[in-house]
Amino acid sequence: MAINTYDIIISGGGAAGFFSAINIAEKHPGTNILILEKSTKCLDKVRISGGGRCNVTHACWEPKELIKFYPRGSKELLGPFHKFMCGDMLAWLDAQGIETNIEEDGRIFPSSNSSQTIIDCFMGQAQKHKITICLSEGMKDFERRDGQFKIQTSQNRTLISDQLIIATGGTKSIWKLLEAKGLKIIPPVPSLFTFNIKHPLLEGLPGVSIPSGRVRIEGFKMETTGPILITHWGLSGPGILKLSSWAARFLNERQYDYSVFINWVDLPKGRVSEILSTRKKEKGNQNILLDRTFSIPKRLWKKMILHLGLEHKNWADITKKEMDRLETLLCHCRFEAKGKSTNKDEFVTSGGIELKEINFKNMQSKTIDQLYFAGEVLNIDALTGGFNFQAAWTTAWIISEEIFNY
């Protein structure tokens, strides 16, 4: 059986694995690095990310602001973000000749609008630095003995390295392996999903987008605001996905059976009440169906009025009880959600290595020397918008800075 020896072995040829390999090689020329990738292709999630466009990071320039997008990992990432964050990633891409575009909502994509640009860059850099890549060969086990790692692969090879970086993303078998080695793992649950809701109010409205709504889940402490999209399955859009991320564990505990409250107009109840009363006074002879009062899509307004059976009434004829029902529908609209659907543009797993296990100054395990972690293998996850990749870039970059400082 052949034995091969490397300075550094990286398990996982995804975003975090490649970014750590390239940056280590750049800073420490001549380092003998191997990437082990269990599947037939590297960087597969980068390829499909952002609908094939790769939302590579976000236009956020303050670490204190950036951490607000991380339901898990915000406290721990503050220090690392002070060393490498979104602007640094843009500068890194720029140095590789990759132009980027900032969209109105802050998401950043390569100007080519193709994730292949990022893949080509990473593959080119890996080649330039003579990083060895083994495809279809996963890490099955490892042990640390006499200051070195002995790694067993799925091809029944034994590899030796001084340092081991684990960047295997949300892979359950690796979490199991690490648990067996004494590391604490937070059980994985999905994050960033859409809410499955069947309700007559939503029927016939898929594709309708509400510019700014407020979303709340019964029993959960926080609410979110943002655009809401009505889909064939229920509700999606940034306002919903954000809350699915914050409430990922809460909803998993409830087996995705929960009540959602939507404020379609993102206005307090008192203000909605005032606007409706003024309308009744000033536009009394107008048919309510034709007089859309709030900046919500016409089709949704119409559906609400039909749902309440008020379509033949003028404002002046609306009773106090009917006014209350309209007000409730506008700003306290209750739905029963059952189950979840995956958000196809970006989805992540919440869970992974307990962050207390890691020294965030160098991303090293506190219990196993020379063992490092980067990316989604950690219990870090973020809202949509390029933040998940940024966590991968930052943790990988920290390793590249610190791996030889021991």
Ligand X SMILES: Cc1cc2nc3c(=O)[nH]c(=O)nc-3n(C[C@H](O)[C@H](O)[C@H](O)COP(=O)(O)OP(=O)(O)OC[C@H]3O[C@@H](n4cnc5c(N)ncnc54)[C@H](O)[C@@H]3O)c2cc1C
Q: Please report, as ranges, the residues that interact with ligand X according to CB under 6 A.
A: 11-17, 36-39, 44-45, 48-50, 54-55, 138-139, 167-169, 171, 174, 345-348, 375-377, 386-389, 392
The full DSSP string for 234-263 is EEESHHHHHHHHHTHHHHHHTTTEEEEEEE
Residue nearer to ligand X on the CB measure, 227 or 297: 227
CA distance 10 to 131: 10
Closest C-alpha to 257, from 194, 191, 193, 340 = 340
Smallest separation (angstroms) from ligand X to the CB of 89: 11
Closest C-alpha to 248, from 383, 54, 153, 88 = 383
Cβ atoms of residues 395 and 387 within 8 Å: no
Query: Token pair for residue 201?
Result: 């109010």
Which residues have C-beta within 8 Å of that of residue 12, sequence separation ≥ 6? 35, 36, 37, 166, 167, 168, 169, 171, 375, 377
- Other C-beta atoms within 10 Å of 116: how many? 16
Smallest separation (angstroms) from ligand X to the CB of 314: 49
């048919």: which residue's tokens? 287
The torsion region of residue 222 among left (phi > 0), alpha (psi -120 to 50) and beta comes to beta
Closest C-alpha to 53, from 124, 108, 120, 121 = 108
Smallest separation (angstroms) from ligand X to the CB of 336: 28
Residue nearer to ligand X on the CB measure, 49 or 245: 49
Smallest separation (angstroms) from ligand X to the CB of 299: 29
Residue nearer to ligand X on the CB measure, 57 or 263: 57
Residue nearer to ligand X on the CB measure, 15 or 276: 15
Residue nearer to ligand X on the CB measure, 152 or 328: 152
């001084």: which residue's tokens? 162
Residue nearer to ligand X on the CB measure, 169 or 213: 169
Cβ atoms of residues 329 and 157 within 8 Å: no
Residue nearer to ligand X on the CB measure, 236 or 388: 388
Smallest separation (angstroms) from ligand X to the CB of 97: 21
| Strand pairing class (333-342; 132-134) | unpaired
Smallest separation (angstroms) from ligand X to the CB of 333: 30
Smallest separation (angstroms) from ligand X to the CB of 237: 16
Residue nearer to ligand X on the CB measure, 133 or 217: 133
DSSP state of 32: -
Using CB positions, name the residue nearest to ligand X: 14
Give the CA radius of gyration of the chain: 25
Smallest separation (angstroms) from ligand X to the CB of 241: 12
Residue nearer to ligand X on the CB measure, 119 or 262: 119
Smallest separation (angstroms) from ligand X to the CB of 114: 12
Residue nearer to ligand X on the CB measure, 163 or 263: 163
CA distance 15 to 93: 14
Residue nearer to ligand X on the CB measure, 251 or 377: 377
| Strand pairing class (33-36; 3-11) | parallel
CA distance 156 to 161: 16
Estimate the crossing angle of helix 115-128 against helix 15-27, to 10 degrees: 40
Smallest separation (angstroms) from ligand X to the CB of 117: 13
Smallest separation (angstroms) from ligand X to the CB of 392: 4
